[in-house]
Structures are given as structure tokens and as C-alpha cells.
């Protein structure tokens, strides 16, 4: 069970990171 939970947290971290990257890209494009 712990391995599944670890994978879940890794997935959430990856989604959060990609969302932050997308937000940064959108802000940069908006400034242009």
C-alpha cells in the first residue's frame, strides 16, 4: 500500500510542477 501511496504523491508532485510551469509560460507570453 505504501508503494501505491508513494506513486500517488509523485504523480501529484509532477502535476503540480507541470501546472506551475504552464502558469509561468502563460505569464511570460502575456508579458510579450
How far is Cα 10 from Cα 27, in angstroms, rounded to an integer? Answer: 26
In the block, cell 506551475 appears at: 20
pLDDT of residue 1: 58
pLDDT of residue 9: 86
pLDDT of residue 6: 72
Q: Which of 25, 5, 32, 2 is nearest to 13 (CA)?
A: 5
pLDDT of residue 28: 96
| Helices and strands in the chain: count of H runs, count of E runs | 1, 0
Which tens digit of pLDDT belongs to each residue from 1-32?
Answer: 567 777 788 899 999 999 999 999 999 999 98
Amino acid at each position: 500500500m505504501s508503494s501505491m501511496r508513494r506513486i500517488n504523491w509523485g504523480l501529484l508532485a509532477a502535476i503540480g510542477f507541470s501546472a506551475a510551469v504552464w502558469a509561468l509560460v502563460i505569464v511570460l507570453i502575456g508579458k510579450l
